[in-house]
């Protein structure tokens, strides 16, 4: 399929996991991709892989917890590619602490990175998306719907993204801009692998347990999440806005 010919997709958090997989998928469908992340070495590798396959991509190093960097992302996309059709906000961090243990500094850092940054990215993208009747995909989480223990700030940030997305969908529909969130469960990624490694001697036990709680019997792959992200950004989803799409193998059905 080539659903994004002549269109421009910004993928924020594209140096690993679901963001990286989404960048490849957009490029495969002929989008021009701005690969955004903090790790230049990994970002350049993503770009090289896309360009070697005949796609069009470039990298921009940015820290989305900084307001100026959020604005720079949009300016750079328009400078290089003349337009913006898709903003895919896929970056984020996790701090595994409950309300008693997380510090105020940790709370602020996570909220700035996970939630405030998405507000800023959307804010600065909207003037350009009005011109193209483009769309926004925000990365939330299953915990933005059902919550999770030992995850105070992370759950709050993802819940905020889910509801902010619905608000933006209402506000921006009159301009032809669609806004949706994806709410993944357990997806193979650096973040999830790091969590498993932190389990020490119980690593394999926890892997087996996490797989077992999914009705489909396994956690998901980054490419499976990317397929949903790219679908929502495409014209195949032209009458879909304001949804929170679980990509979770059914795990939240009994969570």
pLDDT at 1: 77
Q: Rounded distance, CA 124 to CA 121, Å?
A: 5
pLDDT at 149: 73
Other CB atoms within 10 A of residue 204 CB:
10
Contact 4, 85 (CB under 8 A): yes
pLDDT at 66: 93
Q: Rounded distance, CA 30 to CA 4, Å?
A: 5
Q: Check: CATH 3.40.50.720 for 8-187+221-250?
A: yes
Closest CA to 23 of 3, 5, 41, 49: 49
pLDDT profile of the chain (255 residues), mean per 10 = 94 95 98 97 97 97 95 98 98 83 92 95 98 97 80 89 98 98 90 79 91 92 96 98 95 79
Q: Rounded distance, CA 166 to CA 181, Å?
A: 8
Q: Rounded distance, CA 134 to CA 38, Å?
A: 25
Counting other chains too, the contacts that 39-45 makes at CB distance below 8 Å and 24 or more residues apart are 39/15, 42/15, 42/16, 43/14, 43/15
pTM higher than the cut 0.85: yes
pLDDT at 71: 97
- Is 255 a catalytic site residue? no
pLDDT at 182: 97
Q: Rounded distance, CA 65 to CA 88, Å?
A: 16
Q: Rounded distance, CA 76 to CA 243, Å?
A: 29
What residues does each domain of the chain span?
Answer: 8-187+221-250
Q: Which of 154, 175, 209, 255 is catalytic?
A: 154
pLDDT at 98: 85
Other CB atoms within 10 A of residue 121 CB:
26
Q: Rounded distance, CA 27 to CA 49, Å?
A: 10
Written as six digits, the tokens of 55 are 């796609």
């Amino acid at each position: 399929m080539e659903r994004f010919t002549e269109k421009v997709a910004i993928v924020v958090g594209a140096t690993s996991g679901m963001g990286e997989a989404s960048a490849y998928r957009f490029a495969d469908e002929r989008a021009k991709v701005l690969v955004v992340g903090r790790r230049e070495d990994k970002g350049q590798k993503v770009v090289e892989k896309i360009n070697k396959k005949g796609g069009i991509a470039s990298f921009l190093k940015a820290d989305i917890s900084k307001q100026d960097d959020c604005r720079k992302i949009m300016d750079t996309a328009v400078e290089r590619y003349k337009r913006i059709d898709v903003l895919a906000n896929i970056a984020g961090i996790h701090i595994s602490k409950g309300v008693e243990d997380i510090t105020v500094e940790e709370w602020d850092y996570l909220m700035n990175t996970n939630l405030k940054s998405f507000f800023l990215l959307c804010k600065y993208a909207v003037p350009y998306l009005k011109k193209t009747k483009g769309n926004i995909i925000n990365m939330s989480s299953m915990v933005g719907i059902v919550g999770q223990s030992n995850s105070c700030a992370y759950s709050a940030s993802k819940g905020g993204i889910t509801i902010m997305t619905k608000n933006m969908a209402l506000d921006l529909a009159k301009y032809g801009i669609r806004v949706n969130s994806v709410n993944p469960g357990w997806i193979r990624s650096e973040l999830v692998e790091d969590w498993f490694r932190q389990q020490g001697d119980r690593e394999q036990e926890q892997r087996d347990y996490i797989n077992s709680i999914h009705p489909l019997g396994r956690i998901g792959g980054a490419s499976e999440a990317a397929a949903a992200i790219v679908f929502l950004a495409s014209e195949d989803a032209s009458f879909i806005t304001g949804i929170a799409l679980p990509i979770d193998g059914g795990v939240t059905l009994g969570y």
